[in-house]
């Protein structure tokens, strides 16, 4: 090697190499996301074999007990599988086209410096939208990645890389976002999985006791019976706390994200801004027809883009109120949104008996809501 000369740098990789490796990495990540689902599925398959074959068919001697346990077990099993399947494979709903910026508005945002010009663009885009929440700094909720004005209760999921309507959380156990489109399915999945585990633990208990008192024949069934009880009891404890937490969320009409960061309206933060009372909060998730409440079929009210609120303050910049009702003063409070709701949810505000719970709160401190301050801030 001659002195005074440096070795030439290695040639850069071909242009398509980085993209190819990026694609492989993304596919590997997508496969890894299914590992928790496969784990739950394998546990479920083993529990079916252990309960049906080893416990019911080979261990139980009473025919009546065997038939009752098999019938009840398969009912819980099918409801569990059905709700779990719907939670996994129901696609999260994204904001409708009306919340996306037009091509001209996108160009204006890119061209104009941050300031009054961009505020005017967002003012135009959000003028006729049913939006009442804003960011902590008083800015309109705008997603830079999806290029849209966020509907109320909508958040951007970093895993899905999409804005999800009424997002609760991204659940690795179902490899899906839990939001407006599948929240009812997720609740039923928790409920039926808890009932499934409790049923197994209850019917397996006497045989679990016989295992420790040497009352079972010395076969491989005794070890399946022991581990079946341990697994059912362990999952029952964790599922009961999680299911209880989400029942509380439904009763308060909150999402997990809203518990950690309460929604911010025009005048102040209001952690109960979307609560309409227990009955109406329940109907928003499960719908008006009670015959569908316990089935994993979609029956939630609305479209996920607009929600009734407990108290709304009319703003002169907002669209007129539904039903021809108009505000006579800028600071006059109303028990209906300043912008029109979808028909499937607006009836919740016209049913006056359920307002007894929220009217007391309104007397203590009236919380107004209107179009957010129109300064842009990225929120993901």
Please choose, from the candidates 378, 375, 371, the residue with its C-alpha nearest in 3D space to the C-alpha of residue 139: 375
**pLDDT of 280 higher than 60:** yes
pLDDT at 198: 97
201 vs 344, more confident: 201
Residue 147 half-sphere exposure toward CB, CA atoms < 13 A: 11
- pLDDT tens per residue, range 5-18: 555 555 655 555 55
- What average pLDDT does this structure show over 278-282? 95
Q: Are the CB atoms for 296 and 86 separated by under 8 Å?
A: yes
Please give the C-alpha separations between residue 52 and each of 44, 58, 332, 378, in angstroms, as whole numbers: 12, 9, 64, 54
Q: Distance between CA 101 and CA 110 in Å, rounded?
A: 12
- Write 70-77 long-range contacts (CB < 8 A, 24+): 72/199, 73/199, 73/200, 73/203, 76/192, 76/195, 76/196, 76/199, 77/48, 77/196
Helices (H), the chain: 15-33, 35-48, 63-89, 103-111, 116-126, 183-212, 221-252, 256-260, 278-286, 343-350, 356-364
Partners of 376 in beta bridges: 140
Rounded distance between C-alpha atoms, residue 377 and residue 379, angstroms: 6
Does residue 326 carry a pLDDT above 80?
Answer: no
What is the three-class DSSP state of 76?
helix
Q: Is the pLDDT of residue 95 over 70?
A: yes
pLDDT on residue 128: 85
Instruction: Centre a 10 Å sphere on the Cβ of residue 302 and count the other Cβ atoms it contains.
Output: 20
Output the pLDDT for position 10: 59
pLDDT tens-place string over residues 105-145: 888 877 776 666 776 777 788 888 888 888 887 778 888 89
User: C-alpha distances in angstroms, 289 versus 192, 296, 298, 303?
Assistant: 20, 13, 11, 17
CA distance 179 to 159: 14
Task: Report, as an integer, the average pLDDT of 275-304.
Answer: 95
Q: What contacts 338, CB < 8 A, 6 or more positions away?
A: 132, 312, 313, 314, 315, 318, 319, 321, 327, 369, 370, 371
**pLDDT for residue 259:** 94
Q: Tell me what the pLDDT averaged over the chain comes to.
A: 80
Judge whether 236 and 195 are in contact, CB under 8 Å.
Answer: no
pLDDT surpasses 90 at 354: no
Average pLDDT over residues 59-64: 91
Q: What is the pLDDT of residue 342?
A: 60
CA–CA dist 102, 89 (Å, integer): 31
- Does the annotation mark 45 as catalytic? no
Structure tokens at 68: 């009752």
Catalytic residue among 143, 154, 171, 177: 171
CA distance 166 to 255: 8
Instruction: Examine the pLDDT at 182 and tell me if it is beyond 90.
Output: yes
> Higher confidence at residue 340 or residue 173?
173
Measured distance CA(343)–CA(112) in Å, rounded = 38
Other Cβ atoms closer than 10 A to 168: 23
Average pLDDT, stretch 42-47?
Answer: 96
- Say if CB 309 and CB 153 are below 8 A apart: no
Instruction: Choose among 257, 206, 215, 199: nearest CA to 68.
Output: 199
Q: Which of 47-51, 117-121, 163-167, 330-334 has the lowest mean pLDDT?
A: 330-334
Q: Is the pLDDT of residue 372 over 50?
A: no
pLDDT 10s digits, 203-258: 999 999 888 887 777 777 888 999 999 999 999 999 999 999 999 999 999 999 99
CA of residue 354 relative to chain centroid, distance: 25
- Predicted local confidence at residue 317, as pLDDT: 40
């Amino acid at each position: 090697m001659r002195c005074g000369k440096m070795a030439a740098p290695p040639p850069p990789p071909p242009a398509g190499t980085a993209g190819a490796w990026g694609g492989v990495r993304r596919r590997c990540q997508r496969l890894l996301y299914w590992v928790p689902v496969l784990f739950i599925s394998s546990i479920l398959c083993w529990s079916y074999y252990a309960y049906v074959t080893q416990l019911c068919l080979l261990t139980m001697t009473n025919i009546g007990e065997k038939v009752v346990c098999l019938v009840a077990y398969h009912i819980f099993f099918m409801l569990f599988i059905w709700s779990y399947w719907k939670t996994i494979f129901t696609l999260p709903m994204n904001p409708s086209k009306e919340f996306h910026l037009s091509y001209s508005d996108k160009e204006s945002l890119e061209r104009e410096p941050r300031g009054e010009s961009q505020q005017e663009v967002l003012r135009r885009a959000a003028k006729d939208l049913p939006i009442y929440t804003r960011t902590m700094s008083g800015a309109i909720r705008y997603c830079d990645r999806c290029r849209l004005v966020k509907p109320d209760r909508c958040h951007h999921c970093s895993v899905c890389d999409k804005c999800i309507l009424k997002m609760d959380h991204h659940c690795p156990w179902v490899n899906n976002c839990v939001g407006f489109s599948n929240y009812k399915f997720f609740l039923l999945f928790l409920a039926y999985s808890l009932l499934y585990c409790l049923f197994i633990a209850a019917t397996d208990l006497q045989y679990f006791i016989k295992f420790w008192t040497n009352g079972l024949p010395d076969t491989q069934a005794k070890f399946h019976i022991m581990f079946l009880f341990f697994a059912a009891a362990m999952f029952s404890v964790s599922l009961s706390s999680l299911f209880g937490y989400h029942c509380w969320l439904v009763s308060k009409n909150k999402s997990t994200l809203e518990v950690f960061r309460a929604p911010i309206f025009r005048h102040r933060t209001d952690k109960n801004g979307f609560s309409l009372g227990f009955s109406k909060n329940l109907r928003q998730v499960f719908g008006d027809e009670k015959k569908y409440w316990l089935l994993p079929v979609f029956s939630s009210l609305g479209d996920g883009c607009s929600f009734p609120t407990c108290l709304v303050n009319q703003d002169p910049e907002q669209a007129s109120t539904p039903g021809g009702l108009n505000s006579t003063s800028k600071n006059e409070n109303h028990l209906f949104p300043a912008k029109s709701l979808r028909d499937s949810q607006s009836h919740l505000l016209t049913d006056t008996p359920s307002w007894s719970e929220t009217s007391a709160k309104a007397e203590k401190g009236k919380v107004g809501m209107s179009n957010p301050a129109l300064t842009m801030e990225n929120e993901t």
